[in-house]
Amino acid sequence: MSWQMAVVGALGAAQYQQQGAIGKYNQAVQNRKAAVLEQEAQQIEKQTEFDIAQFDKKFEQLEGTTKVNLAKSGVVQGSGTSYRIAMANAREAELQRNIMRYNSKVAANKKMEEASFARVSGQLAREQARLAQINTIASTGTSLLTMSSGSSFGTKSYTQGAGSSKSLFTSDLAYQ
């Protein structure tokens, strides 16, 4: 084995290892991104619960203010107008809570979908690195085979009696 072949083999091995390391790194980056996105989804859900609790406090204050104003105006609590106002406020409050929950679920699901896509991207990066490694092995092997034969494959000549020379890929018809 010549020193050139050793160099080609060493470079091929180094490239193979580097491609594997790059693939693992890219996959790790995408997995980290996925974990961060999942944490963001959890934070969205926690924030929603906090926002609903804040909303409930403000709603209770609104109910209290409404009751005081109705009492000042002489309306009897639980009677016609008072009851309709309380029911309308309660329906509106529940609607607002449901909207907050729905928007939260949509945002959290979007983050989870992004996390899934990041994981798939990481797996794809790893597979691309593996394909590059296979290509490196094939390329290095071809280079080493070419170097060991001393000439390019398929162009080696041979002597056919009485000093005539033919290429391996030359048709016998050309010599008739």
Residues 6+ apart with CB under 8 A from 101: 48, 52
pLDDT of residue 150: 63
pLDDT along the chain (176 residues), means of 10: 80 86 91 96 96 95 88 81 88 96 97 96 91 87 80 47 47 45
| 176 CA to centre of own chain | 65
Task: Note whether 118 and 37 are within 8 A (CB).
Answer: yes
Closest CA to 32 of 132, 125, 131: 125
pLDDT of residue 45: 95
Q: List the domains of the chain with CATH numbers.
A: 3-148 (1.10.287)
